[in-house]
Structure 1
Amino acid sequence: MATSYPNTPGVQILEVRLGAPPIAGVGTSTAGFVGKSPMTGRFLKVARLVTSADQFEADYITGTKPADPPAADSTSLSRAVFGFFENGGTTCYVVNVDSEAQGDVVAGIKLLEPIDEVAIIAAPGHVHPDVYAALEDQAFRTGDRFALLDPPAKVDDLAKLKAGGSNRPPASDYAAFYYPRIQVTPRLANDPKDSVANPIFASPTGHIAGVYARVDAARGVHKAPANERILGALGVEHPLGNAEQNTLNADGVNLIRMFAGQATLWGARTLQAADAADKTFRYINVRRLVNYVEESLEDGLRFAVFEPNNLALRQTITRSVRGFLDGVWRDGALFGATPDEAYYVRFPDLFNRDEDRALGKLTIEIGLRAVYPAEFIIVRIGLIMQNAAAA
């Protein structure tokens, strides 16, 4: 169709589609929490968006009407949500359940599944095998979220936390397990008073989800959420050192350690089985980076569905994908001096035969060189017998 121009001299603006549509990265730090709130009967059995600690307090603790019943003591859910916002979280979904029974909690976890924005899930304070399984299963099946699994109260035998132990969640590439619980201050007026004799120990998963969000915002999802301070944590229930970590790290138990009086995340591993042949997803940041890339491509390539399956479509897709992955590489998430060293985009002939095209299929193969964390820094020191400058 010929373009119609006005008769009046001047500038005319025409909107046209140029090149390949860009692919935008999806969010990575929206959390979903399931548990019982201090105020009974408020927003039960619904996944509700919460964007600040003040909103959570009004909705689930103090109420908005004079007739609202007073809140009970703090719960694992309330401490987790406050810890999430204190550590850098900005957006979460809260599912308030009737009771702390594992059946109610598992049902609440299911309510998070349809919410596409959720990228981190947890059931603070719950260590029942059914709850562990529900979180891990949802993360695996959706492929777009990561589960944070709660530690038990202080264990008398650390072997119980190792693979096959009674306090150990099942193996999973989509989940991380942290130990021990953290010490926090009382939040509500009728909470028990914190003291040396009676400290308050709480679930760390809400605080840890906030650390994830903080690291994502400051560095990116490719940065391992470790060697990071947990704000609001006064201490840990079970102080541990290098000797204990030597026995637990290989089994994917991420410790919370005290360094210079600060509770610090000192582990970055998923619950991948220690004897797994493929170690690709040993680290949390690699799993979450791939989740991020996969979901971004799933959303960003929707434009290509039902387009003519020809060479022009392949070229358009390639430009869109490379434009997105160039940004991922520039952010430092992929290893390589150039984009071509860091990733590739291909249309393998083996999967794009005439019979495949006749069935409406177009297969794209993407390879990534992820950046792994420097978990072990090895310093080799030797004595020299001559001038150091000449050595």
Structure 2
Amino acid sequence: MTVPVPGVRIVEGSGGSHPGSRAGTSVAVFIGRLPEAEGKLEFVSSWSDFQTRFLESGMPSGAAAWLPLAVRGFFANGGSSCHVAAITDAETYVAELDLHLIALEAAEVGMIAVPDLFHDRNDAVADEIRAAVAEHCSALGTRMAILDAPADPAPESAETLATRLKEELLATQTPFTTLYYPWLKVPGLTAGTTQEVPPCGHIAGAWARSDALRGIHKAPANLTLLEVSGLSWDLIDEEHARLHAKGVDCVRLLPGQGLTLWGARTLSDEPEWVQINVRRVVNALTQDIRMATRWVTDQKELNTERLRAIVRNDVTAILTQWWRRGALKGVAAKDAFSVTCDDTNNPGSPVGPATLSIVAQVAPLHPAEFVTIRVSQTRAQN
């Protein structure tokens, strides 16, 4: 039997409150081909920073510009920082993608996009890439995949893809997966030009702007998209209704509002995970609880009642902060959440590695049902 490795020890000692670090929910990752970047994985803090790191040899055009334009759209719409994972060779795209995703596991990241997914790629490879990103987000439980509809402007293409993703490819990952339509018309990298691009970069930036202004517990919808001059297809209400029913989030040209992000759904059909903001709040809460309780891996008596009481206090403090921000329902904190870390979910004396189990039930703004979060901290045997 493999003995688990102890977690990262961010606090020493066993007393007092250990407030958790905020998860990087507004930090994006953009993955795509940048042939001259030699497989770099870089942290980028601005559009000019990206240009310095990746575009010293000049501005690309056509499909080669999709990733740079996504990054520019991210910062133009309110993003403040992102990671860029460069793929150097189309033939080894999936292998390089897997390496980047492994490297990103320890990073504080909230969203992942692949702007050049449709660049000279057959459907089978595109499916493999989408599945790898969605599985990564689902396995970690702390980030969302922002996927793009096909370049084909007809709404039927997005509807067909959504059906395939829900029924065939990502059945267990859909709560962590979103799909956006249509493509956007934006200023090109060369002055005086216009180019159609996948919407993921602008969407990720709008998410980050909404996070900063309203908090991640607010649905990232009814947001104006910036640095966009038009859409590849102007939806009518009947078309939008069909896409909405499939979980596709759309950008609309609305009278008096301009180009507006309209819809904040995941691809999930599970009622508790339909809304993006609910999934993201639970992602962030889970990360906060994990971070705040990692110190217990350093304790020599892991399952003492004293230690459980401290952990309950720590987790209760975190959830109270979220409730006070308005992220959880309830007139009083007791109506918004409950924390269990006692004999009922930590029975007896464990044999082998000691594991402390924490169960938190929370009531996000939507839906009304409680959502259960389970976190375990494991200490390896001496």
TM-score, normalising length from structure 1?
0.80
Determine if contact 1:254/1:266 at 8 Å carries over to the other structure.
Answer: yes
1:53-68 paired onto structure 2 within 5 Å: 53-61=47-55, 63=56
Q: Which runs of 5+ in 2 are unaligned?
A: 1-12, 119-125, 369-382
What is residue 10 of structure 2 aligned with on the other side? none
What is residue 77 of structure 1 aligned with on the other side? 67
Query: How far did 1:156 drift?
Result: 3.9
Determine if contact 2:217/2:327 at 8 Å carries over to the other structure.
Answer: yes
Distance 1:106 1:32 in 2: 17
Distance 1:373 1:182, change over 3 A: farther
Query: How far did 1:84 drift?
Result: 0.6
Match of 1:269 among 265, 277, 290: 265
1:27 aligns with 2:24: yes
Distance 1:357 1:262, change over 3 A: farther
What is residue 4 of structure 1 aligned with on the other side? none
Distance 1:144 1:113 in 2: 14
1:231-310 paired onto structure 2 within 5 Å: 231-260=226-255, 262-272=258-268, 274=269, 278-307=270-299, 308=301, 309-310=303-304
Q: Deviations over 1:50-108 (max 9, x none)?
A: 111111112212x2xxxxx4443261110000001111111111112224x37415623
Instruction: Report the number of matched residues.
Output: 338
Q: Deviations over 1:277-304 (max 9, x none)?
A: x421111111111110111111111111
Q: Residue 335 of structure 2 aligns to a residue in which SS?
A: helix
Q: Which has the higher helix share?
A: 2
Q: Which runs of 5+ in 1 are unaligned?
A: 1-15, 64-68, 195-199, 375-391
Determine if contact 1:34/1:105 at 8 Å carries over to the other structure.
Answer: no
State the structure with more CA Rg: 1
Q: Residue 352 of structure 1 aligns to a residue in which SS?
A: coil
What is residue 112 of structure 1 aligned with on the other side? 101
Q: Residue 362 of structure 1 aligns to a residue in which SS?
A: strand
Q: Residue 201 of structure 2 aligns to a residue in which SS?
A: helix
Determine if contact 2:155/2:239 at 8 Å carries over to the other structure.
Answer: no
What is residue 201 of structure 1 aligned with on the other side? 196
Match of 2:85 among 95, 103, 113: 95
TM-score, normalising length from structure 2?
0.81
Distance 1:289 1:166, change over 3 A: closer
Structure with more relative contact order (C-alpha pairs < 8 Å, separation 6 or more): 2
Q: Which amino acid aligns with 1:150?
A: D
Distance 1:344 1:98, change over 3 A: same
Q: Which amino acid aligns with 1:338?
A: A
Q: Which has the higher strand share?
A: 2
Query: How far did 1:25 drift?
Result: 2.3
Q: Deviations over 1:298-347 (max 9, x none)?
A: 11111112422212111211111111111100111001001000000112
1:39-54 paired onto structure 2 within 5 Å: 40-42=35-37, 44-54=38-48
Distance 1:165 1:366, change over 3 A: closer
Distance 2:33 2:117 in 1: 11
Percent identity for Structure 1 against Structure 2? 32
Distance 1:350 1:70 in 2: 62
205-214 vs 146-155, greater mean Cα deviation: 146-155
Q: Residue 265 of structure 1 aligns to a residue in which SS?
A: strand
Match of 1:337 among 307, 331, 338: 331
155-164 vs 306-315, greater mean Cα deviation: 155-164
Determine if contact 2:26/2:208 at 8 Å carries over to the other structure.
Answer: yes
